[in-house]
Chains A and B, each alone.
Chain A
Amino acid sequence: MTKQGKSFSKIGVLIILVMLSILLSMGFGTAELGYQKVWQCLTDECQRPIYQTILWDIRFPRVLMGFLAGFALAAAGALMQNVTRNPLADPYLFGIVAGAGLGATLSGLLPEHLQAISLPLAAFIGALTAVSIVVVVLMGNNWRRVEHLLLAGVAVSFLLSAFTSFILYFGEAFASNRVIFWMMGSLARADYYALSWVIPVISVCIILALVFARQLDALLLSDESARTLGVNVDKLRLLALIVCAAMTAVIVSYCGGIGFVGLMIPHIVRPFFGLTTAKLLLSSGLVGGCFLIWVDVVARTIVPGQEIPIGVITSVIGSLFFLFIMRKV
């Protein structure tokens, strides 16, 4: 089989895994349905109408959101790492989460009559503001230097986090708690309305990245080498940054901070799918989606009758993963 044929079949395997994960994971939760009941509801009539409600109004949007969040974060991470040629890059480094956190804090802690917009929208605006600050700061000559991009992102991130901490410190305790819980990440807010925002944004972003896949590949060696291949490096990198920011921002707005997915998944995927943008993006996305579906299953079942924040679990797994890699390499 050709190399190209092999990667098609590998992607095929991943798609089947995702389908299975979505089906199986719908059985887990506070109300244990089990895959038999899920299967019965899908193929036949549900035993009880309440199952129908649990399955389609609660579980399905949640599992789908889990998949999309994992897909978007991992794909954004892969894209970011490729365009900055830095294996430690992550959309979170660009202040996206810090910005979203500040937006959420402002919307949650302002006096009632000033709370004109919902928490997700405020978070989204905050995230885009953070990215805009990074881009504007770098608009001059420094724009060409990849390291400056990363450093500026980290600086903006800390600045906005400091504002958030300041506001939370003086904020009313109950509202502060709400924001703090949001920042730890959860898929509990997932519903069809949220999906109606998330699906189009992610689709457009992924399509855009795939349109420029070949040009993005050129960046893998060096900027100069990409320019000699006819690629407009500065514009392309800005586009990639915006694509990553939009994908991450829309996920963070609804699901809060889910760390380490974008950083970890591309590292797992690279040895199997290589580095070229199209393959890496799709495979990272699918693996990331699968991963988050199951992390969420753990989040909603490990402590009976209670949920633990999904971001806590991904951070634990992610950091252990990196420590493990360091020891091995």
Chain B
Amino acid sequence: MTIIHLQAENVSWQINNKHIINDVSFTAIKGETVGIVGPNGAGKTSLLKCLYQENKMTSGKVTLSDTSLDLFDRKDIAKKVAVVAQQHEAVFNLTVFDIVHMGLIPHKAFFESNTDSDIELIDKALSQVNLQDKKYQVFNTLSGGEQQRCLIARAIVQRPEILIMDEPTNHLDIYYQHQILSIVKQLGLTLIMTIHDLNLAAQYCDRLLLLSQGEVKAFDDTENVLTAALIKDTFSIDCLVDKNPLTEKMRVTYGGASHD
């Protein structure tokens, strides 16, 4: 049975009277992976920020398991939705443990200290992302892939139902791109992420939301969105779409920038 886990209805967001997100609607079914794709400046990150309320929507509504987000307490949302945003350097020498430990915040009352099971949870999350040996290493000294995995471990400790990720594979080499995505797929959460690489989107996403200039160009199963015509129309690039013989998923092969 399909249960709609998160639903965005007619979401719009504007800043300085400029429409960034215009009337976007989509749903995420429990347990599926929705990829948000589109050219630079299409509003992918802005749309994600509307979902986790970093951007205040100008109009529209986001519901979580049939309840409007406005009706939730900030802390209750944090118990259900975890966010791995694009990376930034930490100012201080925070350790991996310090950051993963933050995942406990929404679950703790004032003055409540860590229990043994909390520490167990942190250790388990660290081994899930294969960072158990770097527990006390300084975050800023980690590689990009390790930093990303550290933030995923924090999201695991947060015990959410939905995980929102902004460009999780940015700046990573091919191995880490696949490693990160298979780690998060294994968690079995509802996953909503923006992603640049259409081949990664083809391999890991169940459905794709194609955005262009803040509007929905297509929202459908991955194989219906990744068509040569739609890609050419949105990204202005000639391409060939066929099946990847190794994964049996869609494969996009690019020609060149189209000039017509």
Contacts and interface: CB of A to CB of B under 8 A. Distances in A.
Interface of A: 3-4, 82, 85-87, 210-212, 214-215, 217-218, 220-222, 224-225, 227-232, 270, 274-276
B90 A221 contact: yes
Interface in B84-104: 85, 88, 90-95, 97-99, 101-104
A231 B105 contact: yes
Contact of B74 (A86, A211, A231, A270): A231
A217 B105 contact: yes
Interface of B: 52-54, 73-79, 81-83, 85, 88, 90-95, 97-99, 101-106, 108, 110-111, 114, 136, 158
Contacts of B78: 228-230
A248 B114 CA distance: 31
A217 B54 contact: no
A221 to B, nearest CB: 6
Contact of B98 (A86, A217, A228): A217
B98 A275 contact: yes
A229 B99 contact: no
A270 B53 CA distance: 33
Given A210-B111, A217-B98, A224-B54, A229 B106 contact: yes
Contacts of A4: 114
Given A214-B105, A220-B90, A275-B98, A228 B75 contact: no
Contacts of B53: 227
Given A224-B85, A225-B85, A230 B95 contact: no
B140 to A, nearest CB: 11
A262 to B, nearest CB: 16
Contacts of A82: 92
A202 B66 CA distance: 47
A202 B78 CA distance: 32
Given A85-B91, A220-B92, A232 B111 contact: no
A281 to B, nearest CB: 14
A79 to B, nearest CB: 13
Contacts of B136: 3
Contacts of B105: 214-215, 217-218, 229-231
A215 B110 CA distance: 9
7 contacts: A210-B111, A215-B105, A220-B90, A220-B94, A221-B102, A230-B106, A275-B98
Contacts of A229: 78, 102-103, 105-106, 158
Nearest to A231: B105
B85 A228 contact: yes
Contacts of A222: 85, 88
Nearest to B116: A2
A229 B107 CA distance: 10
Given A214-B108, A231-B105, A220 B98 contact: yes
Contacts of A218: 102, 105
A224 B45 CA distance: 13
Query: Which of A85, A87, A222 lies at the interface centre, i.e. has the most chain B CB atoms within 10 A of its CB?
Result: A222
A228 B94 contact: no
Q: 6 shortest A-B CB distances, which residue pairs?
A: A230-B78, A230-B75, A228-B83, A230-B106, A85-B91, A229-B105
Contact of B54 (A3, A227, A270): A227
Contact of B102 (A86, A87, A217, A274): A217
